[in-house]
Structure 1
């Protein structure tokens, strides 16, 4: 897309001008036949992406002696009641009784795809680098388990983590973060509001949220006053990897009312009082402008907020192109954001 064409799409249209390092990859993707439309095939295709991502991130894995990995089953009260799996990552230490900050993570995949493996290797790196206990939640997937089941499962995962700080060698007073990518970023936004308003969290409040390429507003629920500024859905309608049609399909599988804050957290009536937020947003992504708008709204309502943009790259590009400059900046700014929150988000 040329600069002149990009200018037709508002303040952030320039972000869709392809990054030179990403452009050949996009051209190759566009030469492939359209992706599958049935759920089973989409899940198989996503498993292939996970495998590639694990190869790409595998070289950076810390030594097995530096952390402890355990899969646990936890109970979700429902309805419907169920058991879900979480993966816990706890740093090892020679110091008896040492405790760490807590980070609860929700994977992406449009609420319908993915599992604990999506971000497993990245989380292992962060566990050791930051000395932080991590709980990776494997929520039940739509459409078999429609909204609000994925969100409720993740909320149960947060509460389980708090209740089991001793098991995790964690102390939420040292830092208590939640985060996710794509659908996981959406769930993060939803649950940050829930936890803010829940007396259960008195004395153990979430201290930060990480939202990477989040969807925060159903396409059918965009407020009239924002329709003229949310132009990325049209500009990036046919973006490789995640097109507008894909997003519409994912929302159909998720279910729920488009205007519900569980589906469109941007529509929550009050955002003040949320924990400090870090956004990472890609330029060639239909979700771009709603993420940028949500960041502006949080800032306006007094939430300490950092927003990072990555011009000319695709939704989820960092999984497949970890060696390009934009991906290296993504990883650096992700870590900077974690540190900023853990240090008390002293500068908005």
Structure 2
């Protein structure tokens, strides 16, 4: 029994909505899974909630850019707040990688949330549309995300960004893996000298291939079995996504738990879903980073299935998930320093979440 087994228990509120989900929804051929995911994550409830958080058009600008990558180019979308009195014309920068098991999703998936974050947090955001598997197997998507990060660092002026004010990578699920991966690559790359990342936010991330679990950690990685039949993402679905990705199990750009540069990583905020096969590896990664000397904060959301906060955004636990993300951003932009001067901006975004 996992030492974190209590986090799998669902509240009555969660149990009621989980009962409406189909069994193993993300199993099947790639097109079937994409169709199901589209209906789940962009259903009427989620779409209505996102529309309510969109800020007025006059409060921000959007610019799409093409970033050269090996074998082609990818789309990135920058959102820049409209300047207000007292601002000097530049903002901190957040680079975002969307969820989808490396095989689903696109740049529109997190679009509304990033627009709201940009305006209310007074930050520039860059949303990255990386190539998907199985059509583009590993390392295509991971390399795309790293090229996008370097492009952002080189072209901060196009985004009205000042990296000295804060430079954060963030992502959810597969995007959490991608954010953690590029954070470690950047920590070892001389290119980022003088423009280092100040933080990373990893939401419900995958951090190690189950075929590459280090023996010394096996006793701490029990949720893959305990939560194998969890709703939304069970173990079989996760294994299917890994097969489509095609990453070598022990490759450090995917299995970031095995990477050698943990001590060089920027401060991390990690969010873990309690009723998720990936729960224990997220908690373990927070522990490993902290033992390497990295400033880490980690929150676990009891009973929440993988991605449940996105499908059911009005649940109390979903609101807390989003509110915690927002309230930790100032800490990440300041390189793990506790700050209070951004409290007004945080409050504005929390009020935005409360309208969902």
TM-score of the pair, normalised by structure 1: 0.93
Give unmatched runs, 5+ long, in structure 2: 340-356
Of 51, 73, 78, the match for 1:83: 73
Of 64, 67, 71, the match for 1:71: 64
Runs of 4+ in 1 over 3 A off after TM superposition: 32-36, 94-97
Q: Kindly tell me: are residues 45 and 207 of structure 1, through their superposed partners in 2, closer, same or farther at Cα, counting changes over 3 Å?
A: same
Q: Where does residue 345 of structure 2 map in the other structure?
A: none
Of 189, 200, 203, the match for 2:180: 189
Q: Give the deviation of 1:188 after TM superposition.
A: 1.0
C-alpha distance in structure 2 between counterparts of 1:73 and 1:345, whole Å? 32
Q: Is the 8 A contact 2:97 2:179 kept in 1?
A: yes
Give unmatched runs, 5+ long, in structure 1: 1-8
Q: Where does residue 21 of structure 1 map in the other structure?
A: 13
C-alpha distance in structure 1 between counterparts of 2:188 and 2:26, whole Å? 40
- Structural mapping, 1:122-133, within 5 Å: 122-133=113-124
- Structural mapping, 1:175-324, within 5 Å: 175-324=166-315
C-alpha distance in structure 2 between counterparts of 1:183 and 1:212, whole Å? 9
How many pairs are equivalent?
336
Q: Is the 8 A contact 2:209 2:255 kept in 1?
A: yes
Deviates more, 1:172-181 or 1:156-165: 156-165
Of 138, 152, 163, the match for 2:143: 152
Larger relative contact order (CA 8 Å, sep ≥ 6) = 2
Tell me the alpha carbon deviations over residues 255-276 of structure 1, each in whole angstroms, 9 at most, x when there is no partner.
Answer: 1210110121101123102100
CA RMSD in angstroms, aligned pairs only: 1.6
Q: Give the deviation of 1:19 after TM superposition.
A: 2.1
TM-score of the pair, normalised by structure 2: 0.91
Q: Give the deviation of 1:49 after TM superposition.
A: 3.0
Tell me the alpha carbon deviations over residues 149-198 of structure 1, each in whole angstroms, 9 at most, x when there is no partner.
Answer: 10110111111111111111100000000010000000111111100000
1:21 aligns to what SS in structure 2? helix
Q: Give the deviation of 1:34 after TM superposition.
A: 5.0
Tell me the alpha carbon deviations over residues 36-68 of structure 1, each in whole angstroms, 9 at most, x when there is no partner.
Answer: 401011112222234223322211111111111
